[in-house]
Chains A and B, each alone.
Chain A
Amino acid sequence: MAIRRGRGVAAINYPTGMNLGGDPTQALVHSTPTGNFMVTLSSVDLGQGMKQIMAQICAETIGVPTDRVVVDTADTDTGPHCMGTFASRGTHRAGNAVIQAAREARQVMLEVAAEELEVNTSDLETDGQGNILVKGAPQRSISIFDVALSAHFKRGRSISGRGMFLIPRSYPEKETGAMKPSTCYAHACTVAEVEVDDETGEVTVLTVKNVFEIGRALNPKMVEQQLVGGSWMGISHALYEATEPYYPNRDHGGTDFNQYLMPGPGDLAQTEIIVLERPSADGPYGAKGPGEMCANPQIPAVANAVFDAVGVRIDTLPITPERILRALKAQASN
C-alpha cells in the first residue's frame, strides 16, 4: 500500500453563446449633464462582474475613464432586451451591443464638441481622460463635462446611442447536422498532478496548471478570478460532486453542504493560470466567453492523472475513493 503519483493532460475548446432561437442583446447609452455616461441593459450580473466589464467597454469606446460610466441593468421597465446571462454570452453579446450604442453616443458628443470648438468632427479626438482635443492642436480642447452641458442646455442634443447585437438562429440540417452552433471558440489545456492513496482511494490534486486562450482579456484581474474559480469547480466536479451519488439510484442525495461534498480550503490544489489572447473576429475588443469552459479541462486531466498514478480507469464521474478502490480490487483479481 502506497501513495502513488501521476499526472494527466486534457485539451478542450468551448463555444461562445447559444444559437437555438437567435441570440439578441440590446443596450442604450446616454450622457447626463454631469458628463457621466449611463449604460442601460436588462442583462444580469451573476456576481462575475458583468457591470464592471460593460463600464470598461463603454468607456473605451467613448474615450472616457471607466469611472465616468455607470451601468444600470436587470430591470425590464428601463432596460432593453437581453436573452440572459448564460452560455458564456454576457460579455460577448452585451459587450458588442454596448460598443454599438457607445459609438453612436460618441458621434453626437463629437458633433457637439465640434460646434463648440468650431472645427470639423473628424478633426477631434478624445484623450481618454475626459477631454476632447483638436488633433495636432491639443491646446484647443473642451472637457466632456462642458460638452454635456452644451448638449443639454444650449444645443438641445441628446448624447445617446442605441446598440443591438443579434446572432441569427441557425437550424441544424436534419440529415447531416450542418449548423452554426455558436460564434467564436475559447481554448484550454490543463495538466494536473495527483497523489492517490491506493489503500483508501483518496485523491489529492497537488498541482493544476491551466493554460486558457480566451480572446482579449478585457480586465485581467476579473479574468483571473473567473479562471481560478472555474479551475476549482472542475476539480470539485471530477472528484467530489453528485446530487445522486449512486445514480441512477435516487437515494443518498445531499441536502446541505455537510452532505454534498466539495473541496474545502485544505483540499485546494496549487493552481497556475496562464492566459493567451487570440482576439476573436466578432467579439467586443476581441473577447471570447471564458465563463463556462474554464471549469472543463480539469475533469479529464484529473481522471487521466489518476490512471497514470494507479493504473485504473474511472470512466464514471465523480471519481470517488469508493470507485477507485473497487477498480483496484477488480484489477488485483484479474
Chain B
Amino acid sequence: MELRKSYFADQRKDDLHEIGQPRPRSDSPSHVTGKTAYFADRNFPGMLHLKMVRSPHHHARIRSIDTSEAEKHPGVVKVLTAKDVPHNVYTILILIQIGPEDETVLADSKVRWKGEAVVAMLAETERAAQEAAAKVKVDYEVLPAVFDMEEALKPGAPLVNEYHGQNHYLYDSGECRKVRFGDVDAGFAGADHILEQTYQSSPIEHAPTETTGCIVAPEGNDRFTCYTNTQAMFFTLDNASIILQMPGSKLHFVGGTVGGGFGGKVDVIVEPIAILGAKLTGRPVSFIYSREEEMQISSPRAAEKVVIKDGVMKDGRIVARKVTGYTDAGAYSRHSPYGAQKGAGHYPGPYTIPNVWIDTYCVYTNRTPSSAMRGFGVTIGDFALEVQMDKLARLIGMDPLEFRFINAYRDGDMKAHRQPTEGAALIECMQEASRAANWPVAEKYLSMSSYAKGA
C-alpha cells in the first residue's frame, strides 16, 4: 500500500503523534496464536442446545403441529412453538418506528420461505436436539409461491406477507422511495443518445469465519446474560426485550471479538429464542448456526434488479438519468426497506447530472429474507452504474475514464437528493488511477480538481 500525500496536502496538518502511525494491533498476537476467546468458547454446566425445525416448503399454511414424539426423545428438555413466544410477530426496525411488524419468531399459521423456523428443540446435546427435531410432525397445506420480483409485483400474484397486504413495502411516499430532481423528460428530449439497460444480481453470503450464534446463561437473580456475536449490542437487546416482553433491565448482553460480520449479524434471530429457552428451562442455552444455516437460512445480500435510462450528449455530458431499483427482500422486511431507501439516496452515483428520477422498491418474494450486507443498498447499484458508464462512453466513442472526468461531481455541486457535495475526491482518485494503471487521459483531466471552481 502506498499513501499518496501529494493530494489534498493543503487540507492536512501532519502534527499528530498516534494517529497516522501504523501501530501494531494489540489483539493480533492473541488472534494468531489462537488465544482470542470467542462467545462459543464458553461452556456452562447443564447447557442445552437449541435446534430448529424448519419449513420444507416455500409457502404453506400450517394445519397442525405434533411434537408428542419429539418430546419423548431421550435428552429433550423443552419444545417451543409460536404460542410460547410472548410477542411472536415482530420486525427489528420497529425500534425506529419502521413497521409493520411482519415476521414470526416461530411460524404460527403460515410459513413464507423454505427454511423458516417453526419449532425450537432444546436438548442435552446437539445430536439429541437434531434427532428430536426430525420427529416433529407438521401438517402443511402447500400454497403457490412467487420467487421472481416482476411476477410478485403483478396483479393476482400470490400474497407473500399478509402484514404488508401487497408484495412491496409501502413507504410514506407510496410504493417506492422517490427522488425527483430537475426535469428528466426534458433532459431525455434534448439528449443526443438515450441508453436504457437492465442489471441484475443474485443473493450472496456474508461468509463470516464464525457463524451466527449466542449462549444464554440465567444468572439466578432473574437476569439473563447473553454472550453473542451480534454486530449491534443494544439494538439486539432492545428487540429481544420487545419479543420476550421482558424489561431490558433483565438482559445483559456481552460481546467480544467477532469472527466477521459483514452485515450478517444485525438481524436479531438467535438471541430472543435462546433467552426464552433459558428462561423456561432455567438452564444455559446455546444456539449456534451450522455452516449450512449460515449459508441458506441467515439473511443473504438481497438480489437486485436495476434499470438505468440515461440521456447523454456527444460531448460526454449526461443530461438525464432515470433509475428504477428493485430489492428482493424475500419473505420479510428485516433491514430491506432501509436498504432500498439507501439506494435512492445513492443514485445517480458520484456524478453531477441536472435531471434525475429515482424509484426504489422493496419487493417481497417467497425466499430467505435478505438483509444488510457490506455495501448495503449501494454495491449492486454501483455495479449497474459503472457498467452503464462504460457502455455510455463506448456509445459516444469516448474513453471510459475521460467520460467519468467530464461528469464527476465536485465540491458545491447539488446532488439529486438536494445536498451540496462536500469533500469530493473522485477526480483525484481517477487521476491517480490513470497514473498507476498507465491509462493515459488528456492533460486537461489531470489538472482538474474536486475543489469548487474558483476556490
Residues of A within 8 A of B (CB): 7-15, 18, 20-22, 42-47, 49, 51-52, 55-57, 59-60, 63, 65-67, 73-77, 79, 81-87, 128, 169, 172, 174-182, 184-185, 187-191, 209, 211-213, 215-224, 227-228, 233, 237-238, 241-245, 247-250, 253-257, 260, 262, 272-281, 285-286, 288, 291-293, 295-297, 299-301, 303-304, 307, 313, 315-318
Contacts and interface: CB of A to CB of B under 8 A. Distances in A.
Interface string B86-125: 0000000101111000000000000000100000000000
Given A176-B181, A184-B422, A299-B383, A317 B23 contact: no
Contacts of B447: none
B374 A295 contact: yes
B376 A178 contact: no
A248 B345 contact: no
Nearest to A242: B202
B341 A172 contact: yes
A233 B263 CA distance: 14
Residue in B200, B234, B386 with the greatest tally of chain A CB atoms within 10 Å: B386
B12 interface: yes
B390 A307 contact: yes
B400 A276 contact: no
B231 A75 contact: no
B2 A20 contact: no
A256 B383 contact: no
A42 B27 contact: no
A189 B345 contact: no
B221 interface: no
A57 B436 contact: no
Contacts of B24: 221
B232 A303 contact: no
Contacts, number: 414
B18 A216 contact: no
A67 B27 CA distance: 12
Nearest to A287: B19
Given A47-B259, A253-B295, A221 B233 contact: no
Nearest to A276: B7
Interface in B398-442: 400-401, 404, 408-409, 416-419, 422-426, 428-430, 432-433, 436-437, 439
Given A181-B417, A191-B437, A172 B200 contact: no
Contacts of A215: 423
A243 B205 contact: yes
Interface stretch (B67-75, B157-165, B246-254): B246-254
Contacts of A22: 96
B309 interface: no
10 contacts: A11-B389, A13-B349, A174-B172, A189-B429, A213-B429, A243-B295, A250-B367, A275-B3, A279-B11, A307-B390
Contacts of A300: 382-387, 390
Contacts of A248: 147-149, 303, 328, 365, 367
Contacts of B266: 84, 86
B204 A285 contact: no
Given A187-B429, A295-B374, A83 B255 contact: no
A174 to B, nearest CB: 4
B97 to A, nearest CB: 8
B235 A8 contact: no
